[in-house]
Amino acid sequence: MTPFRHHQGIAAPLLRDNIDTDTIIPSREMRTVSRSGLAAGLFAPWRYTDPDARVPDTDFLLNTPAFSGASILIAGGNFGCGSSREHAVWALMESGFRAVLAPSFATIFQNNALRNGLLPVELPRKRIDELAAWVQIDPQNNRLHIDLETCVLHSDATSAQDTFTVNPSAREMLLQGLDEIGLTEKYFEGIAAFEARDRVSRPWVYLAD
């Protein structure tokens, strides 16, 4: 995964509560088991007037020039509810999103996000609304800066800085760009040393090798 330490980007406010995973990436759009090839299906029910023909809805926020290149999504409460599909996170990331700000997240989506390098940031709803209003004034210039090393969100929306919390182990994995497999690989030398000692003390366990 790409390490997440600092990120500055255009923020797109999609302030709807209970945006579920079937809206983020409908099951009919999941035509691959890999993490690629999903971007075109992101928010397909809202993004296209005709999903099959891929006719864009010009009124949908992410289809407008002002939010071209958005990499931070500002959403409503309970974001990512519904099914546990990991494809929802993959579709967001392939489309260029590095973080989602919301008052709350569905637990499974939040865990999937952290394990795949997408940062979910919980902020009070009042603050979410303030940030959304500020970025809409001039989306291309009113950008947000997320510092995961200090867990601080910077903006010029007010003079205050927003602090947030992330599970410490998940934060460390994001900072290093590691998924759970990558984290395990860091301990390969220790695992190999343990196995060598174990072969000596319990050789019968390895007779089938």
**Which CATH number characterizes residue 37's domain?**
3.20.19.10
Q: What sign results for the dihedral spanned by CA atoms 173, 111, 95, 63? A: negative
196 shares its domain with 97: no
Phi, psi for 154 (deg, rounded to 5) = -105, 140
25 part of a folded domain? yes
Q: What is the pLDDT of residues 92-107, one digit of tens each?
A: 999 999 999 999 999 9
User: Does residue 187 share a domain with residue 161?
Assistant: no
Tell me: do 38 and 48 sit in the same domain. Answer: yes
How far apart CA 173 and CA 175 sit, in angstroms, is: 5
Are 69 and 105 found together in one domain? yes
Q: What is the predicted pLDDT for the residue at 160?
A: 75
The domain of 95 spans 6-178
Considering the chain, what is the average pLDDT of its residues?
92
Q: How many domains does the chain have?
A: 2
Residues 83 and 54 in one domain: yes
Residues 164, 203: one domain?
Answer: no
Q: What is the mean pLDDT of residues 49-68?
A: 94
Query: How confident is the model at residue 14, as a pLDDT?
Result: 97
The two tokens of residue 149 are: 């090393």
Res. 158 pLDDT band, cuts 50 70 90: confident
State whether 186 and 132 are in the same domain.
no
150 assigned to some structural domain: yes
In the chain, the amino acid numbered 35 is: R
CA 99 to chain CA mean position, Å = 5
Q: Determine the average pLDDT of the residues in 149-153.
A: 97
pTM metric for this prediction: 0.87
pLDDT class for 38, splitting at 50, 70, 90? very high
Q: Mind listing the pLDDT tens digit for each residue in 182-191? A: 777 777 888 8
Average confidence (pLDDT) over 40-50: 95
Q: Are residues 157 and 107 in the same domain?
A: yes
Looking at the fold, whether 191 and 119 belong to one and the same domain comes out as: no
Residues 128 and 55 in one domain: yes
pLDDT at 144: 96
Query: What's residue 56's pLDDT?
Result: 94
Averaged pLDDT, 109-124? 96
Percent of the chain predicted with pLDDT > 90: 75
191 and 172 inside one domain = no
